[in-house]
Structure 1
Amino acid sequence: MRADDDDAHEWLDAEAGPLVRSYAVTGGRARPGASTFDLLTYVVGTPAGQRRHAVHLQPEHRALLALAAEPISVAELSSRAGFALGVVRVLLADLLDEGAVTCLAPAVAPGHIPDDHILQAVILGLRHA
């Protein structure tokens, strides 16, 4: 292989691995289908999901189920699992379709954010805590 051939294939280095892997993990899907998962949505594994999670699920599905033994937000699940948020949403949709997880709506509905003065008071309180 010539030196200029190496330059042409720089995108194939180790940094490209996770991008290709994410695509493979989700089976090429970029959207979670009919299910939508807000960052603040809590998910928790069901007893049936916990029993059968070792049988036919991918390791990534099993990792999410293990982390969701207790209610956990989608954002926190993504962070703890080390998976991109889009990947987590697709995998959670699979688990929801299987009945392996249930969703709990966030305390604040998306688009209904508290007033600025409430948020400012919270920030002020956190600074003094």
Structure 2
Amino acid sequence: MTAAEEQDEPLIDDDAGRLVRPYTVSNGRTRPTTALDMLSMVRATGSVPSAHLEHDHARALDMSRRPVTVAEVGAQLRLPVAITKIVLSDLIDWGALTSRPPLPPADLTDRAVLEEVLDGLRRRQQ
């Protein structure tokens, strides 16, 4: 296996789990610089950070080509959410990602909204 192929190998062993401890990924930091919720959405800006990207940073940036939640990134990286927030926060600080808070849930008990939906469905059937 070439050095490039070894570098592309995941840092996860199916039997042993992560081969790199989470605190190593965050350089010992315990708090992100950007307030992120598990359901916050992040998306790549297209800007390439000038800093060298660690493996998890590069994977998170790649996943963020489309809008994705913090929780989804953490699940794909197999990192705790707290560490995922730090990784994403780094990318936001470097200008490679943007974030937005989760959208509030719609009030599904609003009778006027339900009537409009029903009217729209009836028009569609005609």
- For normalisation by structure 1, the TM-score amounts to 0.63
What's the counterpart of residue 28 of structure 1?
28
> Where does the alignment leave 5 or more consecutive residues of structure 1 unmatched?
1-13, 119-129
Question: 4+ residue runs of structure 1 moved beyond 2 angstroms?
Answer: 17-20
Pairwise CA distance, 1:81: 2.0
Match in the other structure for 1:84: 80
Give 1:105 shift.
2.3
Q: CA deviation at 1:79?
A: 1.1
Matching residue's letter, 2:43: V
* Cα displacement (A) at 1:106: 1.2
* Unpaired runs of at least 5, structure 2: 1-14, 110-126
Q: Report the residue type matching 1:61 in the other structure.
A: H
Q: Which amino acid aligns with 2:59?
A: A
CA distance in 1, matches of 2:28, 2:47: 27
Question: Are 1:48 and 2:12 matched, yes or no?
Answer: no
Which of 50, 60, 65 pairs up with 1:64?
A: 60
How far off is 1:104 after superposition? 2.0
Identity of aligned residues (%): 33
1:49-83 Cα deviation digits (max 9, x unpaired): 3xx58x61111100100111100011111112221
- Name the SS of the counterpart of 1:44 in structure 2: strand
Question: What is the CA RMSD across the aligned residues, in angstroms?
Answer: 2.6
How far apart, CA to CA, are the structure 2 residues paired with 1:82 and 1:67? 13
Once residues 28 and 64 of structure 1 are traced to their aligned partners in structure 2, the CA distance between those partners, rounded to angstroms, is: 19
Higher helix share: 1
One-letter amino acid of the structure 1 residue matched with residue 25 of structure 2? V
Q: Deviations for 1:10-43, whole angstroms, at most 9, x for unmatched residues?
A: xxxx96x74971011100011103x110111100
